[in-house]
Amino acid sequence: MVACSLIIATYNWPQALQLCLQSVREQNTLPSEVIIADDGSGQETAALIQAFQNDFPVPLKHIWHPDEGFRLAAIRNKGIAAAASEYIIQIDGDLLLHPSFISDHLEMQTPGYFVAGSRVMLPASTSAALLSAGSTDMKKKGILLLGWNALRNRFLRTFLAKRYKITGPHTYYVKGANMAFWKKDLVKVNGYNEAFRGWGSEDREIAIRLVNAGVQKLSIKMGAVCYHLFHTVAAKTRAVENESIMQAAIAEKKVLADEGLNKYL
């Protein structure tokens, strides 16, 4: 298995990021480095990251740009450019990771493929209890998580990898909060398309361009389990424009982002 860089996207929710970083520290296999891709958070987030840097078990980098609205595609590109490893796992800073999250992803590494995972959506009450207690321990909070996304089984994970939501209308089905890529494949498609501003579709659009470039998708079901802390949904003011960019990538069989990763390499 090749070592990996873990990129965590965040924006002005240090309480969630704290639990996320705690769950990273509790991994049974650590990434070689952690990169916080910060879309313009304030000083509270910077102070939290600095405190973690004092004794974090692997290098912890803070990549930041000014808050000029929702620019997730751009800050992810900056995080990718800063990554030292040839394999990249990407999550959001409002996730708690199962202790085997990183090892599950590393076992899924396959040249010529990117990996699309999922997440367990925690209810508001559970999320509030975890945040209040500063706890990542799901059992200690008395949480019984039943459901497809919370299950972990190595045999079924392998069986489903090339079968679950791979073809037809699900070909480009991904969740940007839980994905993994070879860095060279991201370079091949020029990373995320920075034409995306505001919420929506930047993750599916990069999946489209990867597939157009010959990079195939693996699903990681029954593995790489992670738990999403409840929050209100981001404003979707640019959802229509972003959907249009995504559809153009399909229709035009696009591979390269016009404005993307090469600006930072």
CATH assignment at residue 88: 3.90.550.10
Cβ atoms of residues 114 and 33 within 8 Å: no
Alpha helices in 35-164 (DSSP H): 43-53, 72-82, 101-108, 124-133, 154-160
pLDDT of residue 79: 98
Mean pLDDT value across residues 42-70: 97
Residue 145 has pLDDT above 70, yes or no: no
Cβ atoms of residues 94 and 157 within 8 Å: no
Q: Is 30 helix (H, G, I), strand (E, B) or coil?
A: coil
pLDDT, one tens digit per residue, over 228-244 is 999 988 777 788 999 99
Structure tokens at 255: 């591979």
Residue 88 has pLDDT above 50, yes or no: yes
Cβ atoms of residues 14 and 44 within 8 Å: yes
Mean pLDDT value across residues 94-123: 96
d(CA 212, CA 159): 25
Number of domains present in the structure of the chain: 1
Per the prediction, the chain carries an average pLDDT of: 94
d(CA 39, CA 138): 28
Buried b vs exposed e over 205-217: b needs ≥16 C-beta within 10 Å? bbbbbbbbeebeb
Strand pairing of 113-116 and 178-182?
antiparallel
pLDDT of residue 226: 95
d(CA 258, CA 265): 15
Distances (CA, A) of 91 to 132, 169, 258: 22, 24, 24
Q: Which domain holds residue 92?
A: 4-263
